[in-house]
Amino acid sequence: MTYNQTIQSILNLCAALQRLVEPLQPFIQSMSRVSQAITPFLEAIAPHIKHFVRYNKFIDSVRPTGWLPYHTVSMNYVEECRDDVSLLEARLTSFYENNWESIRQDIENRLNHYHISEETKETFREALSAHGMGHYRCVCRVLFPEIDREFRIHYFEDAAGAISSKKMLEKLTNQGEIRNFLPREAYGWILFDRLVHHLYEPVDDSNRAQYEGDYVPNRHASTHGLVPYSTFKHSMNMIIMADYIFQILTSTAKLTSSQQ
């Protein structure tokens, strides 16, 4: 092919490409306008996406330690461990041991404003005292019945008789919007997941070992003596879950006449 022929071939190709592109011009212009229109939206949601990714990482980091997070645990504190589960588990244990008095005071200050019965408030305070004295074994056995009490008062008009844990959980989770179940963002996602998928699951021989190895107490296993929840971690996790549930009850349910 001569030089002139090569130039002509290139020109012909350019002309052909132009003929292909011309019908697409309206679409290209339209996409340009769409891009310009959604740019402010993308810029607005970018920080939320960043937070979501960070929260998801926080959840994935904390879960293997067996600990439930308390809202005063710094996300930076967790991220500094860089996926070292053993280090994070040790640091969280140290955090809960060394900061117990401030955690207890924080819970008691908010407890005064919870929409739960005075009997339950007093019993919760006794559970906090028991934990502080190292009586970890009794905390689950004390708090689960008090949670049941509040379910009855809020959702079943304080009726006597058998009420399945499934019905109690359904009543609780059917109340209000999802934001009521997610206080303090990432922490709420973890606690909500454990509430829905762990706390009220039935336990039998087929899954008993699973719950024996889990540091978050299960109502059925505790009530029927299937798992001895006797450690500092069991007790602290139970306190965190009870505090979380009472927050939900306060935000989603009204006081009945029996509480007033």
In the chain, domain spans: 46-60+77-92, 99-252
The answer to which of 101-105, 136-140, 162-166 has the lowest mean pLDDT is: 162-166
Q: Structure tokens of 168?
A: 């109690």
User: What proportion of the chain, given as a percentage, has pLDDT over 90?
Assistant: 46
Cα distance between residue 236 and residue 242, in whole Å: 10
Using the CB atoms, write b or e for 165-196: b if 16+ within 10 Å.
Answer: beebbebbeebeeeebbbeeebbbbbbbebbe
Cα distance between residue 252 and residue 174, in whole Å: 9
Q: Structure tokens of 201?
A: 């699951």
Residue-averaged pLDDT of the chain: 81
Q: How far is CA 162 from CA 116, 142, 167, 197, 254, in A?
A: 21, 19, 10, 22, 23
Residue 29, pLDDT score: 60
Residue 82, pLDDT score: 84
Residue 176, pLDDT score: 58
Q: Structure tokens of 147?
A: 């949670």
Cα distance between residue 197 and residue 175, in whole Å: 17
Residue predicted with more confidence, 41 or 30:
30
Give the pLDDT band of residue 122 (cuts 50, 70, 90).
very high
Give the pLDDT band of residue 32 (cuts 50, 70, 90).
low
Residue 154, pLDDT score: 84
* 107 Cβ neighbours under 8 A, 6+ residues apart: 124, 128, 239, 243
Mean local confidence (pLDDT), 236-243:
96
Residue 240, pLDDT score: 96
* 122 Cβ neighbours under 8 A, 6+ residues apart: none
Length of the chain, please?
A: 260
- To the nearest 10 degrees (0 to 180), the angle between helices 186-194 and 232-252 is 100
Give the pLDDT band of residue 220 (cuts 50, 70, 90).
very high
Q: How many CA atoms lie within 13 Å of 108's alpha carbon, on the beta-carbon side?
A: 13
Give burial (CB, 10 Å; 0-12/13-18/19+) of 4: exposed
- Write the pLDDT tens digit of every residue in 93-115: 999 999 999 999 999 999 999 99
**Residue 66: how many CB atoms within 10 A of its CB?**
18
Helices (H), ranges, the chain: 3-21, 25-62, 75-79, 85-98, 100-111, 118-132, 137-155, 165-173, 186-194, 208-212, 219-223, 232-252
Tell whether the model's pLDDT for residue 164 goes beyond 90. Answer: no
Residue 59, pLDDT score: 80
Q: Is the dihedral of CA 148, 150, 155, 156 positive or negative?
A: positive
User: What proportion of the chain, given as a percentage, has pLDDT over 70?
Assistant: 72
| Element containing residue 185 per DSSP (H, E) | none
Mean local confidence (pLDDT), 8-15:
63
